[in-house]
C-alpha cells in the first residue's frame, strides 16, 4: 500500500465513466501543412508570413499620406510608433545614439506583438512565437547587432576588455571577466529567446488544457457537466490574462534588446 | 495516472523567481507611492528586473523538458 496504489485509485476515478482524458502535450504545437518532419511548412510559418504582410500593408497605408493634421489612423499609428521610439529606444539607449536603432526596435516590437497576439486572435488561436524557431530568429538579429555595434565602436580588443565594469581591484578582474563573457555571449541570447518562447508556450498550453478539459467534462455525467462551467470561465479568464502577458513579453523583449544595445554603445560599462 | 518528478522539481524551482518578482514589484510600488513623479524612471527598471528574475524560471522550464534517463 503505497503511493502507487493511491495514484492507481485516482486514475480509475478519473476514467470511471467513458474514455480517458488526454492531457495536451507539446505535440499540439506541431501543425504541418505541407510536408513532414523537420522541414515541413507549418501553420506557424504561414501565419508568420501573414503577419509581415499585414503589418507592412497597414503601416504603409497609414503613413503614406502623413499630414500635419493627422487622420484618426495616422494618429493611432503615431501613438504606437512613439511608444516604441520614446518609451523604449530613447529611454534605454539615451537621446544621443537612439535614432539609429529605432527602425530595428520598432520592427521587433510590432512583429513580436502581432505574432504573440495571434495566440488569442480567433482565426489563428496559436502564438507563432510558441515555436522556438521564431524567438531564435529574432534573438539572432539582436545578438549580431549588439555585438557588431560594440565591436565597431570600440574595436574587438576594446570591446572584450570593456566587458569588465570599471573601478574593480586588479585581482578580481580575471574571474569577473569570465563571468561577464559568459553573460554577454551565452546567457543573454539564451534567456532572450527562451523567455519569449517559454511564456508563449506555457500560456497556450494553459488555454488548451482548460478548454479541452471543459470539453471533456461535457461528455461525462451531470456532475462533470456542471464542473465544466467554471472550467470554461477559467479558460476565458486565461485568454484575457494571456493578452496581457503577450503584450508584456513583446515589450520586455524590445526593452532588453534596447538595453543590450545601450550597454554596447555606452562609453563605460 | 502518469507523472514526472521533474514537474514537481519545476514547481519548486518557480518559488525563488516568484518571490524575487514579488520583491521587485513591492519595491517599485513603494517607490512610486513615496515619489509619484519618479514613475517613468522606475518603470523600465522594474520591468528589467522582473525580466531578469523571470529568466531563472525560464531555465527551469527548459530543464523540465530535458529528458533524464
Asked if residue A9 has pLDDT above 60, the reply is no
User: Which position has the higher pLDDT, B63 or A176?
Assistant: A176
**Mean pLDDT of the region A87-112:** 92
- In a mutational test of the A interface, the residue from B44, B45, B50, B56 whose CB has the highest number of chain A CBs within 10 Å is B44
B51 touches chain A (CB under 8 A): yes
User: Which position has the higher pLDDT, A109 or A163?
Assistant: A109
Residues of B in contact with A252 (CB under 8 A): 47, 50-51
Cβ–Cβ below 8 Å for B1 and A251: no
3-state SS class at A33? strand
User: For A165, left (φ over 0), alpha (ψ -120 to 50), or beta?
Assistant: beta
pTM, entire model: 0.86
CATH of the structural domain B5-65, one choice from 3.40.50.980, 1.20.20.10, 3.40.640.10, 2.30.42.10: 1.20.20.10
Cβ–Cβ below 8 Å for A195 and B62: no
Give residue limits of the domains in chain B.
Answer: 5-65
- Residue A1 banded pLDDT, cuts 50, 70, 90: very low
Of B3, B55, B65, the CB nearest to A195: B55
pLDDT at B1: 53
Dump the DSSP string for A151-212: HHHHHHHHHHHTTSPSS--GGGHHHHHHHHHHIIIIIHHHHHHHHHHHHHHHHHHHHHHHHH
Residues of B in contact with A201 (CB under 8 A): 61
Mean pLDDT over all residues of chain A?
87
**φ, ψ for residue A42, nearest 5 deg:** -100, 170
pLDDT at B69: 56
Of B3, B48, B58, the CB nearest to A194: B58
Q: Which residues pair with A32 in a beta bridge?
A: A42
Burial class (CB in 10 A: 0-12, 13-18, 19+), A132: middle
Q: What is the pLDDT along chain B (69 residues), one digit of tens a residue?
A: 566 788 888 889 999 999 999 999 999 999 999 999 998 889 888 988 998 898 888 888 877 777 665
Cα torsion through A216, A116, A125, A39, rounded to 10: -100
Q: State how far the Cα of A237 lies from the Cα of A232, in Å rounded to an integer.
A: 9
H-helix segments, chain B: 5-13, 15-34, 39-65
Asked if residue A14 has pLDDT above 70, the reply is no
Q: Which of A6-15, A47-56, B6-15 has the lowest mean pLDDT?
A: A6-15
All cell numbers assigned to A243: 493578452
Cβ–Cβ below 8 Å for B62 and A194: yes
Whether A258 contacts A149, CB under 8 Å: no
User: Which position has the higher pLDDT, A195 or A38?
Assistant: A195
- pLDDT 10s digits, A200-240: 998 999 899 999 999 999 988 899 899 999 999 999 999 99
pLDDT at A64: 84
Of A7, A91, A194, the CB nearest to B1: A7
Cβ–Cβ below 8 Å for B47 and A251: yes
Interior angle at CA A210, CA A207 and CA A214, nearest 5: 140
Asked if residue A171 has pLDDT above 50, the reply is yes
Give percent of chain A with pLDDT exceeding 70: 92
B14-35 as b/e: b if 16+ CB within 10 A? eeebeebbeebeeebeebbeee
H-helix segments, A37-132: 43-64, 72-82, 91-93, 102-117
Asked if residue A17 has pLDDT above 70, the reply is no
Amino acid at each position: 500500500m503505497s503511493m502507487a496504489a493511491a495514484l492507481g485509485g485516482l486514475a480509475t476515478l478519473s476514467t470511471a465513466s467513458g474514455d480517458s482524458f488526454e492531457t495536451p502535450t507539446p505535440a499540439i504545437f506541431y501543425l504541418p501543412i505541407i510536408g513532414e518532419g523537420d522541414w515541413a511548412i507549418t501553420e506557424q510559418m504561414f501565419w508568420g508570413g501573414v503577419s509581415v504582410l499585414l503589418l507592412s500593408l497597414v503601416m504603409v497605408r497609414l503613413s503614406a499620406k502623413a499630414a500635419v493634421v493627422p487622420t484618426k489612423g495616422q494618429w493611432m499609428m503615431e501613438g504606437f510608433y512613439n511608444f516604441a521610439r520614446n518609451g523604449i529606444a530613447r529611454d534605454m539607449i539615451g537621446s544621443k545614439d537612439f535614432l539609429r536603432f529605432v527602425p530595428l526596435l520598432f520592427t521587433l516590437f510590432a512583429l513580436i506583438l502581432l505574432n504573440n497576439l495571434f495566440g488569442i486572435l480567433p482565426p489563428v488561436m496559436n502564438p507563432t512565437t510558441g515555436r522556438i524557431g521564431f524567438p531564435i530568429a529574432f534573438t539572432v538579429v539582436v545578438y549580431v547587432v549588439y555585438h557588431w555595434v560594440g565591436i565597431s565602436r570600440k574595436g574587438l580588443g576594446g570591446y572584450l576588455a570593456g566587458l569588465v565594469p570599471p573601478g574593480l581591484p586588479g585581482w578580481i578582474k580575471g574571474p569577473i571577466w569570465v563571468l561577464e563573457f559568459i553573460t554577454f555571449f551565452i546567457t543573454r541570447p539564451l534567456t532572450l529567446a527562451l523567455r519569449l518562447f517559454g511564456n508563449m508556450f506555457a500560456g497556450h498550453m494553459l488555454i488548451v488544457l482548460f478548454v479541452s478539459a471543459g470539453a471533456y467534462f461535457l461528455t461525462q455525467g451531470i456532475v462533470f457537466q456542471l464542473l465544466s462551467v467554471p472550467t470554461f470561465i477559467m479558460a476565458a479568464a486565461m485568454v484575457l490574462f494571456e493578452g496581457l502577458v503577450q503584450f508584456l513579453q513583446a515589450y520586455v523583449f524590445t526593452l532588453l534588446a534596447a538595453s543590450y544595445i545601450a550597454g554596447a554603445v555606452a562609453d563605460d560599462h | 495516472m502518469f507523472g514526472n518528478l521533474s514537474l514537481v522539481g519545476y514547481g519548486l524551482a518557480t518559488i525563488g523567481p516568484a518571490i524575487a518578482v514579488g520583491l521587485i514589484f513591492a519595491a517599485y510600488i513603494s517607490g512610486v507611492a513615496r515619489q509619484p513623479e519618479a514613475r517613468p524612471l522606475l518603470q523600465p527598471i522594474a520591468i528589467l528586473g522582473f525580466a531578469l528574475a523571470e529568466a531563472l524560471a525560464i531555465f527551469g522550464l527548459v530543464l523540465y523538458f530535458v529528458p533524464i534517463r
